[in-house]
Structure 1
Amino acid sequence: MVLTHTPVCDFGIPAPDFNLPGVDGRNWSLQNCRGPRGLLVMFICNHCPYVKAINHKLVRDTRDLIALGIGCVAIMPNDTDAYPDDDFEHMREEARRHEYPFPYLLDESQQVARAYGAVCTPDFFGYDAQLGLQYRGRLDESGARPDAGEVRRELYLAMKQVAETGHGPKHQIPSMGCSIKWRQE
């Protein structure tokens, strides 16, 4: 496990398109996932301790964001040959276990993760209604500690602001997590 931090938000950069298979049996595109007030694209996986620690908060926050008109989608970018716990069947089990309220998609080619510039799991990209980037920060300060207690809901509050104003907060703290497991070329 290599700890990685995300870069600073590049405000306004457009969301790259995608068309990926979901654990629900259908393919999902950028247009299918967006909400009327924006879109949250999350790069997560099954085995990462940082993702495991926040899964319950991810479900809570995305449910609340969906109610505000923010579409939410999670994409699994890791090399599943090297990390079989992240394969499609395990993704399906993970989505069912946590009752993900968002599509959970497999980026087998890793082209979508590269197009977004994703570097770790979890990695969050928050877009406005026109699909311009407004947030590239963390979920909250808990990191890999599932028992961190009540902490400020940074991702939720940032995306709530995007839903209400179209703009993300100027101050954003980078997400941190395990590096994406890229295929060896």
Structure 2
Amino acid sequence: MARTESNMISLGTLAPNFHLKDTNSNDFFTFSACKGEKGTLVFFICNHCPFVHHVLEEILLVANDYRVQGIGMVAISSNDVEQVPEDSPKLMTEFAFENSFDFPYLYDETQEVAKAFNAACTPDFLLYDSQDKLVYRGQLDDSRPGNGIPLSGSDLRGAIDGLLYNRSINPIQKPSIGCNIKWKK
């Protein structure tokens, strides 16, 4: 299991737009369609990654806790399915159903969206404010597979709470660590 850190792009960066197919509904979504009134959380995940499996329960709790407070949520998978067949759109649909995703799970077949967001790993979290400016990029919390630290979502939750309650968000943010995105050759 490769340990790849997320790219710590500049805070204030505008969210790129996209037009991707949701593997749950077969509808197409844009960034604007996924936006929440108070902000938007974009996270890059995939079906097979042990880092994603480790944090998935907390991701679902974060989605349930904050979606009702005006935070839009969208998951994107950008892995090359020729290299990792278990990340195919059909299996994404099954993964989303089995885990009760209540947010779009989009397939980035060309990988252009991952490149536009400068995504590097799974999971990779990017939080945008209501003006689509990046206010947080980094880890969910300090928990990793096998390190014994319980999941809390503390880093991401702190950033979302800061956004919701007009508190300052600490600009010193730790990168997420996970499996590298499997880029097409």
Please indicate the TM-score interval, normalised by the length of the shorter structure: over 0.9
Which residue of 1 is the match for residue 93 of structure 2?
92
Which residue of 2 is the match for residue 32 of structure 1?
33
The structural deviation recorded for 1:163 is: 2.2
8 Å contact from structure 1 (residues 51, 144) kept in 2: no
Distance 2:181 2:148 in 1: 24
Distance 1:110 1:63 in 2: 28
Identity among equivalent positions (%) equals 38
How many residue pairs were aligned? 184
Gaps of 5+ in 2: none
Which residue of 1 is the match for residue 105 of structure 2?
104
Gaps of 5+ in 1: none
TM-score, normalised relative to structure 1: 0.94
The one-letter amino acid of 2:40's match is L
TM-score, normalised relative to structure 2: 0.94
Distance 1:83 1:145 in 2: 23
Query: What is the correspondence of 1:1-185 to structure 2 with a 5 Å cutoff?
Result: 1-23=1-23, 24-145=25-146, 148-149=149-150, 151=152, 153-165=154-166, 168-184=169-185
8 Å contact from structure 1 (residues 53, 146) kept in 2: no
8 Å contact from structure 1 (residues 68, 160) kept in 2: no
Alignment RMSD (CA, Å): 1.6
8 Å contact from structure 1 (residues 20, 27) kept in 2: yes
The one-letter amino acid of 2:44's match is F
8 Å contact from structure 1 (residues 53, 145) kept in 2: no
The structural deviation recorded for 1:144 is: 2.2
Is the partner of 1:135 in helix, strand or coil?
Answer: strand
- Pair 150,138 (structure 1): closer, same or farther in 2 beyond 3 Å: closer
The structural deviation recorded for 1:128 is: 0.4
Distance 2:32 2:57 in 1: 26
Distance 1:119 1:92 in 2: 23
